[in-house]
Amino acid sequence: MDKAKVLFVLGTRPEVIKLAPLILRLRHSEKLSCVVVNTGQHREMSREFLTVFGIIPGYDLEIMNERQSLGYLTGKLCFRLEEVLMFEKPDLLVVQGDTTTAFCGALSAFYCRIPCVHIEAGLRTGNKSQPFPEEINRALIARLADFHCAPTQRAKANLLREGISKDKVLVTGNTIVDALQIILAQKKGFLNKTLEKTLKISNKVVTVTAHRRENWGRGIEEVALAIKELSRRFADVNFFFSVHPNPVVKNTVYSLLKDIPNVFLFSTLAYPDFIKLLSRSKLVISDSGGIQEEAPALGVPVLVTREVTERPELLEAGLGILVGCSRERIVEEAAKRIPLGRGQNPHLVFGDGRAAERIEQAIENFLGFCSRKIEEFKG
């Protein structure tokens, strides 16, 4: 039997990180070949993170322009992806998560009558505006996809409640834990020497990120003002803020925090450097979904600067707390935790490092190469 062609559509930093373990596995598959399409939704970050994992895309669509609307982006993405699909004629298309890239990949596969597998399926907040537009994107992908790889039992339950057949859902764990293990095993030095030098003199570290669209404006400002207050209260703690390149975020953060001695502002870090930073942190303050998955695996508590989360497992395990973008709430909860030792062992809430293996087996089953029983992740 000839190899089946699996086409991966990605374009953002988290998609690269979470799809890399599966793409790397398929390099050695006797049954499956892969083609990688980078939409360039996060143009520079996606390229940089592909390089970290040694992945060269077959296509780089470069679809991003300044100030284009979501509607314009969606139309352009579908048009360009349809061209690729008509030429490549893959046996299967894989999307990950809930970005506009993932939604357009699933929609284009449907239009071209190509089966689609959705990785990280079933996450829900129940609020269509939080996160925006991701909550609606992932709900629509669930209607378009033919097989669903849910990261946790709760995510699977969400899909079953929505009418997805249980034989079309597999709990795999989240591939971000696989990616984390790949990076930690590399044991490479820092790429950012300034970060390395600063960490050497930092006994107490708090990591901060902020990027979500629904927090743009006043929300990002409140987070920055909270860090300003915390830096004053805890002069012996160094706050490392990984600043998203979007001007809406960057301009606000730099205007409020650029001259504070114990606040260090970095442009988006290479993934290995960010994991080194996170692993040395007492606390992380973030609105990132990926960090809610990475931090528990490293034993780092999380203050989630959102009103809701699609990862309630984090809260139920006592590994994180929702603080919204309230300056007072962020300062209050951080001030409770910063004086404490880390006090947490790594928790495999979201995966055990075998998600990519399970997904590869599920794809082989789906395409008819075999019909093996796959042991689900129990999380």
Please give the domain boundaries of the chain with CATH numbers for all domains: 4-174+351-366 (3.40.50.2000), 192-337 (3.40.50.2000)
pLDDT of res. 143: 99
Amino acid identity at 65: N
Per the annotation, the verdict on 211 as an active-site residue is yes
pLDDT tens for each residue of 43-62: 777 788 899 999 999 999 98
Q: Give phi and psi for 234, each to the nearest 5.
A: -120, 75
- Show the 3-state SS of the chain: CCCEEEEEEECCHHHHHHHHHHHHHHCCCCCEEEEEEECCCCHHHHHHHHHHCCCCCCEECCCCCCCCCHHHHHHHHHHHHHHHHHHHCCCEEEEECCCHHHHHHHHHHHHCCCCEEEECCCCCCCCCCCCCCHHHHHHHHHHHCCEEEECCHHHHHHHHHCCCCHHHEEECCCHHHHHHHHHHHHCCCCCCHHHHHHHHCCCCEEEEEECCHHHCCHHHHHHHHHHHHHHHHCCCCEEEEEECCCHHHHHHHHHHHCCCCCEEEEECCCHHHHHHHHHCCCEEEECCHHHHHHHHHHCCCEEECCCCCCCHHHHHCCCEEECCCCHHHHHHHHHHHCCCCCCCCCCCCCCCCCHHHHHHHHHHHHCCCCCCCCCCCCC
pLDDT of res. 342: 64
pLDDT of res. 46: 76
pLDDT of res. 34: 97
pLDDT of 345 strictly over 60: yes
> How much is the average pLDDT of 81-90?
99
pLDDT of res. 211: 83
Q: pLDDT band at residue 302, thresholds of 50, 70 and 90?
A: very high
pLDDT of res. 45: 73
- What whole-number distance in Å separates Cα of residue 14 and Cα of residue 23? 14
pLDDT tens for each residue of 261-271: 999 999 888 89
| Maximum average pLDDT range among 48-57, 168-177, 183-192, 241-250 | 168-177
Cα atoms found within 13 Å of the Cα of residue 184, Cβ hemisphere only: 15
Residue in this structure with the two tokens 């990076």, named with its chain if needed:
183
pLDDT of res. 212: 81
Q: pLDDT band at residue 346, thresholds of 50, 70 and 90?
A: confident
pLDDT of res. 187: 84
- Range with lowest mean pLDDT among 66-75, 87-96, 176-185: 66-75
pLDDT of res. 300: 95
Query: Is 134:214 a contact under the CB 8 Å cutoff?
Result: no
Query: Is 57:38 a contact under the CB 8 Å cutoff?
Result: yes
pLDDT tens for each residue of 31-40: 999 999 999 9
pLDDT tens for each residue of 178-222: 999 999 998 889 989 999 999 998 889 999 999 887 877 889 999
pLDDT of 343 strictly over 70: no
- What whole-number distance in Å separates Cα of residue 278 and Cα of residue 25? 26
Q: Which of 42, 118, 148, 211 is catalytic?
A: 211
Query: Is 9:39 a contact under the CB 8 Å cutoff?
Result: yes
Q: pLDDT band at residue 244, thresholds of 50, 70 and 90?
A: confident
> What's the Cα-to-Cα distance from 74 to each of 71, 106, 114, 148, rounded to whole Å?
5, 12, 19, 22
